Amino acid sequence: MKGLRKWRWGELPTYNGFTHAERVRGWQAIHFLIDNGWAQRSNICCISGDTNMPRLHSETYYSWEPYTISHSIHMALHQRFRQPAPWRRIVDRYSVDGAEWYARLSLEPVDLAAQLRADYGPEITDLFARVPVPVGTIIPHHQIYRQE
């Protein structure tokens, strides 16, 4: 079994109310599942169908089910608060009925993390207590990212 990946980059900004540490732990959980063959990673952007430079994107870091999106769409998505026009063009181009997950994203920052904690309690933050691994799998808790 492969262990958890180690974060080797700089600090991530808060996104949807999720802190850097929460975002890294979400990244670790997703890659733990993929690296051990318990989840599949798509190579096709779920918005455009593009296969160039696919990236994984999460709207909630208390989940291990990311969206696969192209690098250029990923950048526009994260910059939509400061530069909404490119994001609007993407949504206008690819949205069929406006019900798609990406078409419903706010152009103003939201605190989804606080809402999830209010709805489900503080235990929702312990992603590794809920990550779907085969029975008997020992999660390497000593490798879970802790902000120092």
Would you state the pLDDT for residue 148? 59
The model carries a pTM of 0.93
- Give residue-wise pLDDT tens across range 49-81: 999 999 999 999 999 999 999 999 999 999 999
pLDDT at 45 over 80: yes
Domain locations in the chain as residue ranges: 20-133
The string of DSSP letters for 73-115 reads HHHHHHTTTT-HHHHHHHHHHH-SSS-STTTT--SS---HHHH
Cα dihedral across residues 137, 37, 78, 85: positive or negative: negative
d(CA 58, CA 45): 13
Rounded mean pLDDT, 41-51 = 97
Would you state the pLDDT for residue 70? 98
- Give residue-wise pLDDT tens across range 79-132: 999 999 999 999 999 999 999 999 999 999 999 999 999 999 999 999 999 999
Name the token pair of 126: 């312990």
